[in-house]
């Protein structure tokens, strides 16, 4: 019984740190389906980071999310949903990612609420964070305005 309690406390810490890392980088957390709908209704480009507690999220995806946005061109809006935590928000966001299977961590770039491209887990896991940054910045070059 003690193991479960300790494990839950440990996971709460992991989740809290994962949330803090991405919000500290400038991303807005979307925790409900309504949050997602409101954010995706905005005109312009939106980068969605689908966060998770897996190692490749902490070691690759969140650092890439943080670094990629320090660039000449970047999305108008930076948001995040947390797979496995904010289930309603994540499910609603994934409805917008037409043609892409659920994947976390991942990044989706939308324009006026329509999916343009994704960087999926298989393009993150086992890759260097800078390779992910390059993929994101290529998408920014093609689709975003200079800041």
Beta bridge partners of 110: 46, 115
The one catalytic residue among 47, 48, 50, 54: 54
Token representation of residue 26: 């400038």
Q: Is 144 a catalytic residue?
A: no
The one catalytic residue among 25, 39, 56, 93: 56
Tens digits of per-residue pLDDT, 15-67? Answer: 999 999 999 999 999 999 999 999 999 999 999 999 999 889 999 999 999 99
- Residue 8's Cβ-count burial label (10 Å; 0-12, 13-18, 19+) is exposed
Token representation of residue 108: 């989706």
Length of the chain measured in residues: 147
Tens digits of per-residue pLDDT, 119-133? Answer: 999 999 999 999 999
Alpha helices in the chain, H assignment, sequence order: 2-24, 33-40, 55-56, 62-68, 87-96, 129-143
pLDDT tier, 3 (very low <50, low <70, confident <90, very high otherwise): low
% of the chain at pLDDT higher than 70 = 97
pTM: 0.93
Q: Is 56 a catalytic residue?
A: yes
Mean local confidence (pLDDT), 70-99: 97
Upstream peptide bond of 5 is cis (omega within 30 degrees of 0) = no
Could you tell me the CA-to-CA distances from 132 to 22, 80, 106, 119 in Å, in that order? 16, 17, 10, 8
Return the pLDDT at 103.
Answer: 95
- Quote the distance between the C-alpha of residue 100 and its chain's center: 14
In the predicted model, is pLDDT for residue 4 greater than 70?
no
């Amino acid at each position: 019984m003690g193991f479960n309690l300790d494990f839950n406390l440990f996971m709460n810490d992991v989740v809290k740190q994962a949330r803090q890392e991405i919000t500290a980088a400038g991303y807005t957390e979307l925790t409900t389906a309504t949050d997602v709908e409101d954010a995706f209704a905005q005109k312009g480009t939106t980068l969605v980071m689908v966060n998770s507690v897996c190692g490749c999220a902490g070691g690759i995806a969140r650092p890439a999310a943080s670094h990629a946005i320090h660039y000449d061109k970047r999305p108008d809006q930076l948001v995040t949903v947390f797979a496995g935590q904010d289930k309603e928000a994540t499910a609603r966001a994934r409805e917008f990612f037409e043609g892409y299977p659920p994947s976390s961590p991942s990044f989706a770039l939308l324009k006026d609420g329509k999916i343009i491209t994704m960087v999926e887990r298989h393009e993150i896991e086992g890759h260097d964070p800078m390779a992910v940054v390059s993929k994101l910045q290529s998408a920014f070059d093609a689709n975003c305005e200079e800041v």
